[in-house]
Amino acid sequence: MQIDPADLRAEIARQQLVLYELAADVKVHPGRLGAMLAGKIPLPDDIAKKIVANLKRPSMAETGR
């Protein structure tokens, strides 16, 4: 399953997620995650799947917390 980093970046922006919080959730250094999403280094499938799973979770704004 190949997920385009640009699509993930766009969805992260749409959901107004903070990159360092997302990086903590997927257990990747924020600088490294940013480089992966910018296409500077390869985005492993397991990290992409973790990001997608994280994007599917309701945000704190949606849950009212």
Fold of 5-56: 434 Repressor (Amino-terminal Domain) (1.10.260)
**Where is 16: in which H helix or E strand?**
none
CA nearest to 23, candidates 13, 14, 32: 32
The answer to whether the beta carbons of residues 37 and 5 sit under 8 Å apart is: yes
Q: φ and ψ at 13, to 5 degrees?
A: -65, -45
Structure tokens at 54: 């994280």
Residue identified by tokens 């940013």 is: 34
- Domain ranges for the chain, please list them: 5-56
Residue identified by tokens 């360092």 is: 20
Give the pLDDT of the chain (65 residues) as one tens digit per residue: 578 999 999 999 999 999 999 999 999 999 999 999 999 999 999 999 999 999 988 765 555 54
